[in-house]
Chain A
Amino acid sequence: MKEYWQEISALTMRWVKRLSREKFSMLFTLVQPMLFWLIFFGNLFQRAADMQVTQAPDYISFLTAGVVVMTVLNNGLAGGVDLLFDKENGFLERLMTTPIHRSSVILSRFIFVMTITSLQVLVILGVAFLFGVQPATGLLGIATILMIGMLFGVGLTAISMAMAFSVKSHGDFFSVLGFLSLPAIFLSSALVPLAGMPAWMGFLARFNPMTWAIDAVRPLILTGWTEALPHVGMVVVVMVIFDALCLYGSAKVFRRAMG
Chain B
Amino acid sequence: MDRAIAIQVSHLTKTYDKHTAVSDLSFEVYGGEIFGLLGPNGAGKSTTLRTIITLLTPTSGTVSVLGHDTVREADLVRRLIGYVPQERAIDRFLTGREHLELLGALYHLSKAEAAKRIAELLKLVELEEAADRAAKTYSGGMKRKLDIACGLLPDPKILFLDEPTLGLDVQSRLRIWEYVRMLKARGMTIVMTTNYLDEADQLCDRLAIIDGGKIKTLGSPTELKIGLGGDIVSLTLKDPSKIATLVAALTKQPAMRAVKATQTGLDIRVESPEKALPAILESANRLDCQLEFIEYHRPRLDDVFIAHTGRSIKDDVPMEKEAV
CA distance A21 to B93 in the complex (A): 6
Task: Produce 1/0 per residue, B93-106, CB < 8 A to A.
Answer: 11000100111011
Quick check: which of A2-10, A112-120, A207-215, A230-238 contacts chain B, the rest being far away? A2-10
Q: B81: which of A6, A17, A89, A97 is its contact (CB, 8 Å)?
A: A97
Report B70-119 residues with CB < 8 Å from chain A CB.
Answer: 74-76, 78-79, 81, 83, 85-91, 93-94, 98, 101-103, 105-108
CA distance A167 to B102 in the complex (A): 27
Is the CB of B55 closer than 8 A to any CB of chain A? yes
CA distance A24 to B291 in the complex (A): 71
A90 touches B55 (CB 8 A): no
B residues in contact with A22, CB < 8 Å: 93
CA distance A17 to B105 in the complex (A): 15
B85 touches A90 (CB 8 A): yes
A259 touches B85 (CB 8 A): no
Is the CB of A170 closer than 8 A to any CB of chain B? no
In the complex, what residue of chain A is closest to B77 when comparing beta carbons? A99
B64 CB to nearest A CB, Å:
17
Interface size grouping (class) on chain A: 20 to 34
In the complex, what residue of chain B is closest to A21 when comparing beta carbons? B93
CA distance A100 to B76 in the complex (A): 11
B residues in contact with A17, CB < 8 Å: 93-94, 98
CA distance A90 to B53 in the complex (A): 14
CA distance A9 to B111 in the complex (A): 13
Is the CB of A91 closer than 8 A to any CB of chain B? yes
In the complex, what residue of chain B is closest to A97 when comparing beta carbons? B83
A residues in contact with B55, CB < 8 Å: 93, 96-97, 259
B residues in contact with A47, CB < 8 Å: none
B156 CB to nearest A CB, Å:
10
Task: Produce 1/0 per residue, A81-116, CB < 8 A to B.
Answer: 000001001110111111110000000000000000
B86 touches A90 (CB 8 A): yes
Is the CB of B54 closer than 8 A to any CB of chain A? yes
**A18, A86, A98: residue with the most chain B Cβ atoms closer than 10 Å:** A98
Is the CB of B150 closer than 8 A to any CB of chain A? yes
Some 19 contacts from A to B, beta carbons below 8 A apart, are A6-B108, A7-B108, A11-B102, A14-B91, A17-B93, A17-B98, A22-B93, A89-B89, A89-B90, A90-B86, A91-B89, A94-B103, A97-B83, A98-B78, A98-B106, A98-B107, A99-B79, A99-B108, A259-B55
A249 CB to nearest B CB, Å:
22
Task: Produce 1/0 per residue, B122-161, CB < 8 A to A.
Answer: 0000000000001000000000000000100010000000
Q: A7: which of B85, B91, B105 is its contact (CB, 8 Å)?
A: B105
A51 CB to nearest B CB, Å:
47
CA distance A14 to B94 in the complex (A): 8
A99 touches B78 (CB 8 A): yes
B134 touches A21 (CB 8 A): yes
A89 touches B88 (CB 8 A): yes
CA distance A70 to B101 in the complex (A): 36
CA distance A94 to B54 in the complex (A): 11
B91 touches A6 (CB 8 A): no
With contacts A6-B108, A89-B88 taken as known, whether A94 is within 8 angstroms of B83 at the C-beta atoms is yes
CA distance A228 to B94 in the complex (A): 45
A93 touches B78 (CB 8 A): no
**B76, B78, B108: residue with the most chain A Cβ atoms closer than 10 Å:** B108
A residues in contact with B108, CB < 8 Å: 3, 6-7, 99
CA distance A91 to B108 in the complex (A): 18
With contacts A89-B88, A99-B79 taken as known, whether A94 is within 8 angstroms of B150 at the C-beta atoms is yes
B57 touches A259 (CB 8 A): yes
Q: A93: which of B76, B89, B101, B105 is its contact (CB, 8 Å)?
A: B89
**A21, A93, A95, A99: residue with the most chain B Cβ atoms closer than 10 Å:** A99
Given contact pairs A7-B105, A14-B91, A259-B55, enumerate 17 new A-B contacts (beta carbons under 8 Å): A7-B108, A10-B101, A10-B105, A11-B106, A14-B94, A14-B98, A14-B102, A18-B93, A18-B94, A89-B87, A90-B88, A91-B89, A94-B85, A94-B89, A97-B54, A99-B76, A100-B106
CA distance A90 to B147 in the complex (A): 11
CA distance A89 to B154 in the complex (A): 21
A6 touches B89 (CB 8 A): no
CA distance A98 to B74 in the complex (A): 10
B106 touches A7 (CB 8 A): yes
Q: B107: which of A96, A99, A259 is its contact (CB, 8 Å)?
A: A99
In the complex, what residue of chain B is closest to A96 when comparing beta carbons? B55
Report A1-34 residues with CB < 8 Å from chain B CB.
Answer: 3, 6-7, 9-11, 14, 17-18, 21-22
CA distance A6 to B56 in the complex (A): 26
B residues in contact with A99, CB < 8 Å: 75-76, 78-79, 106-108
CA distance A18 to B92 in the complex (A): 9
CA distance A17 to B98 in the complex (A): 9
In the complex, what residue of chain B is closest to A101 when comparing beta carbons? B75
CA distance A9 to B76 in the complex (A): 22
Closest 6 CB pairs of A and B: A10-B105, A90-B87, A90-B89, A99-B78, A98-B106, A21-B93
CA distance A22 to B93 in the complex (A): 8
Report A228-259 residues with CB < 8 Å from chain B CB.
Answer: 259
CA distance A3 to B75 in the complex (A): 13
A residues in contact with B91, CB < 8 Å: 14, 18, 86, 91
In the complex, what residue of chain A is closest to B76 when comparing beta carbons? A99
